Amino acid sequence: MKLYYSTTSPYARKCLIAAHELGLMDRIQVTLAAATPTARNAELVQHNPLGKLPALVLDDGTALYDSRVIVEYLNTLAGGSLIAAGDGRWDTLVRQSLADGILDAALLMRYEVALRPQEFQWADWTRGQGEKIRGALRHFEATADAWTGRVDLGTIALASALSYLDLRFPDLAWRDTSPALSSWQAAFNQRPSMIATALKG
């Protein structure tokens, strides 16, 4: 199977971390691709009409997207335990959604400054996205005791989100107000899956 990804895509990184954790990397051919809302990638669009990364194309040509579908597919394929069984499933998936929400807001901020012509940039928009990020970080910080120590889709998504903030928004200085998250990230970043998939801007 073939994974379209980019070295700066935190959603794609989430899939790669999961694939490493599940021992599936030898079954995945990674294919570099570039995509932005203003520059669609013709090859990628053939598989994902939204033109977004990541997309996973199975050997029979079936395309899977978005990242939440891909990681769940990989977990099922490997018979993995990245999603808790029973009621714990919802906790795992909600933490993944919250971490992905950090990324959704961060990507909108990124596109606002990197793609939108300066005369059209809107400070209130950027401020609003920043509030979403800070709110989500506060929630993760306050609930850290409940999920620290787990390796699941929630913590994988969170690790990927924090690394994207480090890459694109160091001025956010999220560690200043998130000591539990900060020490959790330092430990989680030592995992081979994290080392092998570091974002490169």
Ligand X SMILES: N[C@@H](CCC(=O)N[C@@H](CS)C(=O)NCC(=O)O)C(=O)O
Partner residues linked to 32 by β-bridges: 5
Percent composition of the chain: helix, strand, coil (DSSP 3-state, to 5): 60, 5, 30
| Nearest partner of 152 among 103, 193, 198, 181, judged by Cα | 193
Enter the DSSP assignment of 3.
E
Residues 7-26 as x/- pattern, contact with ligand X by CB under 6 A: --x-x---------------
Candidate list 37, 88, 128, 192; residue touching ligand X; CB under 6 A: 37
Residue 51 as a binder of ligand X (CB under 6 A): the answer is yes
The interface region with ligand X, picked from 45-53, 147-155, 168-176, 182-190 by CB under 6 A, is 45-53
Residue 107 as a binder of ligand X (CB under 6 A): the answer is yes
Instruction: Identify which of residues 36 and 148 has a Cβ nearer to ligand X in the complex.
Output: 36
C-alpha span between 34 and 4 (Å, rounded): 9
Query: Counting beta carbons within 10 angstroms of the beta carbon of residue 170, is it exposed (0 to 12), middle (13 to 18) or buried (19 or more)?
Result: exposed
Residue with the CB atom nearest ligand X in the bound state:
66
Smallest distance from ligand X to CB 101, Å: 10
Candidate list 22, 35, 93, 162; residue touching ligand X; CB under 6 A: 35
The residue count for binding ligand X (CB under 6 A) is: 14
The interface region with ligand X, picked from 31-39, 74-82, 147-155, 165-173 by CB under 6 A, is 31-39
The residue length of the chain stands at 201
Task: Give Cα separations from 23 to 55, 74, 145 (angstroms).
Answer: 19, 10, 28
Q: Is 2 helix (H, G, I), strand (E, B) or coil?
A: strand
Candidate list 17, 18, 21, 52; residue touching ligand X; CB under 6 A: 52
The interface region with ligand X, picked from 16-24, 64-72, 128-136, 193-201 by CB under 6 A, is 64-72
The interface region with ligand X, picked from 18-26, 49-57, 135-143, 192-200 by CB under 6 A, is 49-57
Residue 47 as a binder of ligand X (CB under 6 A): the answer is no
Query: Counting beta carbons within 10 angstroms of the beta carbon of residue 25, is it exposed (0 to 12), middle (13 to 18) or buried (19 or more)?
Result: middle
Task: Catalog residues that contact ligand X under the rule CB under 6 A.
Answer: 9, 11, 35-37, 51-54, 66-68, 100, 107
